[in-house]
Amino acid sequence: MEIDWLEDFLALSAAGVFARAADARNISQSAFTRRIKNLENWTGTPLFDRSVHPVELTAAGRAFKQTAIDTVAALKQSKSDIRGLSRQEASVLDFVALHTLAISFFPAWLMRMSSHLGPIKSRLVAENFSGCAEAILCGSADFMLCYHHPAVPTISDENRYPSSTIAKDRIIAVSSAGADGRAKFSLEGDDPVPLLSYSPDTFLGRVSQVCLERGNLSSKVDPIYENSVAEALKSACLAGLGIAFLPEGAAERELKVGTLHKISRPEFELVIDIKLYRSIERSRAELERFWMLAQNL
């Protein structure tokens, strides 16, 4: 038996409608129905009377409900207690960050924080944005490090998940260097240039599209390759496959040594924030000291 089955059971007992309960559990109705059936197979008896609408608990279901409530609550409390004890003993700060920030921003920033606080024990997991949001919302990370721009919705509950802008970056278009040392591709010509693009549902994919629209560039690019990770697009760009829209911080070293060239104009570049999020439901001395400094450094 899985804890998800118990949570599904409680959701359906509250909603009475399979579709509504499946939406509340954020899974498809077919998967939800299958999990309810699995639970009934495990108990060995039907838990819901499907002959009425909304469905109702059977006598066995009513008897089982309090057990499900107590079991779910006990497991969640145990999980919280174990995690809390582990973190108090280890004094480790758990971070989740976008892949690009994990590589290009986090190490130097953590070093700067350490220069004020002393040595910091930390654990970093790199994720896409949905993975980052899931980690902070479900309580498996102390802090989330992400890009932010008003054009792209992010976590909106500032009361439970406050954030602080700790740095700024800029989305720019870059090209590799040609044989003559100058940019291999340009956005100034009439012929479309090959574009290395992000998945359209990612943060960088959306802000890149804003840059294209601001510069009226859609007719000047020909998307030939897609990847959701900026570092992967940078590698493809360095190989000469096409142009890419990158956070300037992620391309800083290559721009300095001349292996990449900025080919965008300032008017269609986009300034983005680098934000640090936290959950107010997670608190201990090390976390609060770090949060206080991050907001004021």
Q: Which CATH number covers residue 121?
A: 3.40.190.10
Buried b (16+ CB within 10 A) or exposed e, 59-74: eebeebbeebeeebee
Residues 186 and 226 in one domain: yes
Residues 225 and 81: their CA atoms lie apart, in Å, by 46
Look at residue 1 in the predicted model and tell me its pLDDT.
Answer: 67
Last residue in a domain, options 60, 87, 114: 87
Residues 267 and 285 in one domain: no
Residues 41 and 9 in one domain: yes
- Contacting residues for 124 by C-beta, under 8 A, at least 6 apart: 95, 96, 97, 102, 106
Residues 288 and 214 in one domain: no
Q: Which domain holds residue 223?
A: 168-272
DSSP 162: -
Q: Say whether the peptide bond before residue 46 is cis (omega within 30 degrees of 0).
A: no
Q: What is the mean pLDDT of each run of 10 residues along the chain (297 residues)?
A: 88 92 91 93 93 92 92 82 61 92 96 94 91 88 94 81 95 96 92 94 91 92 94 96 96 96 94 94 90 93
Tokens of 226: 């897609």
Last residue in a domain, options 55, 87, 119: 87
pLDDT digits (tens, 9 = 90+) for 27-78: 999 999 999 999 999 999 999 999 988 999 999 999 999 999 989 888 888 7
Residues 32 and 118 in one domain: no
Q: Which CATH number covers residue 27?
A: 1.10.10.10
Look at residue 139 in the predicted model and tell me its pLDDT.
Answer: 86
Q: What is the count of structural domains for the chain?
A: 3
Residues 201 and 259 in one domain: yes
Residues 159 and 281 in one domain: yes
Look at residue 84 in the predicted model and tell me its pLDDT.
Answer: 64
Backbone dihedral angles phi then psi of residue 269, each to the nearest 5 degrees? -75, 160
